[in-house]
């Protein structure tokens, strides 16, 4: 019998052959599962925990990576991979505990800010250090670009949490309301602002309990007008919002994961209940989402009861979920910084010690990729050796009329060095009895002597193994009785 390695959907019945409640460290592929890369640390340690990071590309094609801590802003030196302090005159900063740095590019300027400190600006072409943004803009938690305007959301002061404000047209140093198109808008409903992003012809604002669109409408006598898109629902976790393009964004709400203003459920009856059971409910609002632009997966980082941080991923092209037991810190979508052959000296004692394949994205500057900061504050890319993968089938009744004796199985995979275990059940609801985890023999057959009415197979592929696909288990079974 051919038993597939199905999608990870732990909310479904364990007896549904089309779903699995246990897949760890594997990425969805069209007809099964593929490997998940581990981490490669590439930098020296930041002075403190990362509270936000970004990359920008100069006109000459060079990539600059900037990271912020509670008190400073730093640029990655790609010669020795240390961090250079480029904080402005307002440093040391004081990023609040429940806040982080927001980075927004406007032309050749990079704006960095949080709710406590004066808005900072960095000249991408000239380099140097950050400076206070001129024009007396208000402090704000969030920002985004809409056409020729820089928009700020969740401002300091009374009623600021429900207020947006935008700059003068094509001038981020102009904040005089009523001049050059600059204006302010307090939102009367929907509670506090959780974030926003530019869209074609305007921008979208996500609140705790609403979503609104601000179309560019100069003919109306106002720079932007307002349209309520969803009057009742928004997000409780501001950093969970991940925008992928016009009209396409994902986020966490009180009752699970959704996409778009119409709240298309992407986790309902698949992972929502599992996730809400896993997460420390105290930290629901701190869930952070980031898109891996290479794998086309949105990852959400969340905290569990013991204080560890894990990731849950959603492949928006395949409409599939995945998870990992690799602990992570601040997550960032970055470009690779173009490590040269000479630069390998910063990582490896000699060429034989290199663990990265030489066609890795790590050695190609400007390739989109996904990164995190480790527990010791080093930047690490997800380009390392493959993690140990565990993939379970569903609990399957091989013979609907009788118990089944399994004497062997073949795994449809190009991996080698794996093991396979057979979990047998006497009846629906029985506890599982696992066989020894066996390797395949020279003919590719994994031997078993397992008897039960139901069976569940568990594939474990060792870390560092090179492989690309695991699709199914082909079990050799015969009836062994009707009890």
Three-state DSSP class for residue 239: helix
Tell me, what DSSP letter sits at residue 274? Answer: H
25-44: pLDDT as tens digits = 999 999 999 999 999 999 99
91-143: pLDDT as tens digits = 999 999 889 999 999 999 999 999 999 999 999 999 999 999 999 999 999 99
Closest C-alpha to 424, from 408, 405, 440, 447: 405
Question: Which region among 18-22, 246-250, 324-328, 343-347 has the lowest average model confidence (pLDDT)?
Answer: 343-347
Tell me, what DSSP letter sits at residue 430? Answer: P
Task: Indicate the pTM of the whole model.
Answer: 0.90
261-305: pLDDT as tens digits = 989 999 999 999 999 999 999 999 999 999 998 889 999 999 999
- Write down the pLDDT at residue 337: 59
- Write down the pLDDT at residue 355: 54
CA distances from 157 to 112, 116, 137, 161 (A): 19, 11, 13, 8
Query: Do 408 and 419 touch, CB atoms closer than 8 A?
Result: no
Distance separating alpha carbons of residues 73 and 244, to the nearest angstrom: 27
Residue 233 has pLDDT above 60, yes or no: yes
146-170: pLDDT as tens digits = 999 999 999 999 889 999 999 999 9
Spatial CB neighbours of 169, under 8 Å, sequence gap ≥ 6: 148, 149, 180, 181, 223
Distance separating alpha carbons of residues 403 and 426, to the nearest angstrom: 8
396-454: pLDDT as tens digits = 999 888 899 999 999 999 999 899 999 999 999 999 999 999 999 999 999 999 999 99
């Amino acid at each position: 019998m051919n038993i597939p390695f199905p999608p990870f959907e732990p909310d479904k019945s364990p007896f549904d052959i089309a779903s699995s409640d246990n897949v760890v460290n594997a990425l969805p592929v069209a007809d099964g599962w593929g490997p998940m890369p581990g981490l490669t640390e590439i930098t020296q340690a930041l002075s403190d925990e990362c509270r936000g990071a970004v990359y920008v590309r100069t006109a000459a094609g060079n990539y600059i990576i900037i990271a912020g801590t509670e008190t400073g802003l730093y640029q990655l030196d790609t010669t020795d991979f240390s961090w250079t302090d480029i904080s402005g005159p307002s440093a040391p900063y004081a990023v609040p505990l429940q806040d982080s740095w927001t980075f927004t590019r406007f032309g050749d300027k990079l704006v960095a800010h949080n709710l406590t400190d004066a808005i900072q600006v960095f000249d991408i072409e000239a380099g140097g250090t950050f400076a206070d943004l001129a024009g007396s803009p208000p402090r704000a938690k969030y920002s985004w670009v809409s056409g020729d305007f820089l928009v700020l959301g969740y401002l300091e002061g009374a009623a600021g949490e429900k207020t947006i404000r935008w700059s003068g047209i094509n001038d981020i140093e102009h904040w005089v309301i009523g001049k050059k198109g600059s204006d302010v808008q307090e939102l009367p409903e929907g509670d506090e602002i959780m974030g926003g992003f530019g869209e074609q012809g305007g921008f979208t604002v996500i609140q705790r309990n609403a979503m609104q669109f601000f179309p560019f409408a100069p003919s109306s006598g106002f720079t932007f007008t307002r349209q309520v898109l969803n009057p009742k629902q928004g997000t409780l976790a501001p950093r969970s919002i991940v925008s992928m393009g016009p009209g396409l964004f994902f986020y966490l709400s009180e009752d699970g994961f959704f996409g778009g203003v119409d709240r298309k459920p992407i986790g309902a009856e698949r992972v929502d209940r599992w996730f809400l059971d896993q997460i420390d409910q105290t930290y629901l609002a701190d869930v952070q989402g980031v898109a891996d632009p290479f794998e086309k997966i949105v990852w959400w980082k969340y905290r569990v009861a013991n204080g560890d941080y894990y990731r849950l991923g959603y492949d928006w092209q395949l409409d599939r979920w995945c998870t990992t037991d690799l602990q992570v810190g601040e997550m960032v979508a970055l470009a690779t910084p173009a490590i040269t052959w000479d630069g390998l000296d910063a990582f490896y004692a000699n060429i034989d010690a290199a663990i990265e394949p030489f066609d890795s994205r790590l050695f190609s500057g400007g390739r989109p990729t996904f990164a995190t900061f480790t527990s010791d504050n080093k930047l690490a890319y997800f380009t390392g050796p493959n993690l140990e993968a565990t993939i379970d089938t569903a609990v399957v009744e091989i013979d609907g009329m009788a118990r089944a004796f399994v004497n062997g199985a073949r795994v449809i995979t190009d991996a080698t060095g794996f093991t396979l275990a057979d979990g047998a059940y006497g009846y629906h609801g029985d506890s599982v009895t696992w066989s020894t985890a066996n390797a395949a023999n020279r003919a590719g057959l994994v031997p078993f002597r397992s008897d039960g009415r139901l069976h569940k197979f568990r594939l474990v592929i060792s870390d560092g193994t090179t492989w690309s696909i695991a699709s199914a288990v082909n079990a050799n079974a015969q009836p062994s009785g009707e009890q």
